[in-house]
Amino acid sequence: MNQNNELDKENFNIWLIEDNLHFRRTINGLINHTPGMKCTNAFETCEEAISKLQTEFPPEVILLDIGLPGMTGIEGIEKFKMLSPSTHILILTIYDDNEKVFDALCAGASGYLLKDSSPDKIIGAIEEVLSGGAPMSMQIAHKVLEIFSNLKPKKNDYGLTDREKEILKFMVTGLTKQQIADQLYLSFHTVNTHLKNIYVKLHVNTKSGAITKAFKENLI
C-alpha cells in the first residue's frame, strides 16, 4: 500500500453507467484500449452502481448517462457525490437542454459531454477530468455561459435612493423598524417613512412583499 504503484502506472479505474448496450460496449472497449485506463465496471442503472459502491473501492471517474431508467442521472450524481466525494462524474448524454445541464452541474458533475463526441474527445475529457479540469462539449460550454449571463438581471432598481436601498438591506436581515432605526441612529418615524416610500416604489404593501421583490430582482 505504501509503495503505491497504481499511481506510477497511472492506471485509473473508470465506471460506466449507460443503459444502451451498444454504446456501453463501445465506450467500454474504448477505455480499455487506452493505456492507463481501465473500465472496471459497466452498469445499466445508477442503482446497480450504488450498491457496488458498498463493497468496492470507488473509481476515479464515473461516466454517466442522464436519461436512465429508474433513478435519474441527476439524482445519481448527488448520491455518488455523497458516497464518494472525490470521484469525478463525467456526464455523457444526448440531452443538452438548459434544465438538465444546469441541474447536473449544480449536482456536482465535473464535466459534460454530448454523445456525438468523438472517441478522442471522450478519452481526452477523462484525462482532463483526472488532471483537475472540467471538460465540456462546445455547445454545453456555450449554454453554461448563457445561463450565467441570464443569472444577473440587475436591471431597474425601481428608483430606490441609496438610503432606501440601505434600509431594504436591513429589512432583509429580519429586523423590525425599530431595530433598523437603532442600527442607523434614526428615529422610528424616519424608518417608517422610508418603508412607506419603498413600498410605493416597489408596488408592494408589506415587508414580506418588499423582501421577496428584493430577492427576485436582485435589488440587494
Residues that bind a second copy (CB under 8 A): 102, 105-111, 128, 131-136, 138-139, 141-142, 144-145, 148-149, 151-152, 154, 171-174, 176, 204, 206-209, 211-212, 215
Q: Enumerate residues 6+ apart whose C-beta is below 8 A from 81.
A: 87, 89, 107, 108
In this complex, which beta carbon is closest to DNA, that of residue 24 or of residue 207? 207
Smallest gap from Cβ 145 to a second copy, in A, equals 5
Picked from a second copy, DNA, none, the partner binding residue 109 (CB below 5 to 8 A depending on kind) is a second copy
How far is the C-alpha of 32 from the C-alpha of 170, rounded, in Å? 59
Smallest gap from Cβ 216 to DNA, in A, equals 17
Region of 48 on the Ramachandran plot (φ > 0 left; ψ -120 to 50 alpha; else beta): alpha
User: 416597489: which residue's cell?
Assistant: 202
In this complex, which beta carbon is closest to a second copy, that of residue 7 or of residue 151? 151
- Residues at the contact surface with DNA, assessed by CB under 7 A: 159, 161-164, 176-178, 184, 186-190, 192-196, 199, 205-208
Smallest gap from Cβ 164 to a second copy, in A, equals 16
In this complex, which beta carbon is closest to a second copy, that of residue 144 or of residue 184? 144
CB 61 within 8 A of CB 88: yes
Smallest gap from Cβ 220 to DNA, in A, equals 16
Residue 97 gets which letter from DSSP?
-
For residue 198 the three cell numbers come to: 419603498
Q: Taking the C-alpha atoms of 191, 196, 199 and 204 in order, what is their torsion angle to the nearest 10 degrees?
A: 120
Smallest gap from Cβ 20 to a second copy, in A, equals 26
In this complex, which beta carbon is closest to DNA, that of residue 28 or of residue 197? 197
Strand-by-strand arrangement of the 37-43 sheet: 37-43, 12-17, 61-64, 88-93, 111-114
In this complex, which beta carbon is closest to a second copy, that of residue 33 or of residue 142? 142
Picked from DNA, a second copy, none, the partner binding residue 178 (CB below 5 to 8 A depending on kind) is DNA
Radius of gyration of the chain (CA): 25
Q: How far is CA 67 from the centre of its chain?
A: 17
Q: Enumerate residues 6+ apart whose C-beta is below 8 A from 117.
A: 92, 125, 137
In this complex, which beta carbon is closest to a second copy, that of residue 141 or of residue 200? 141
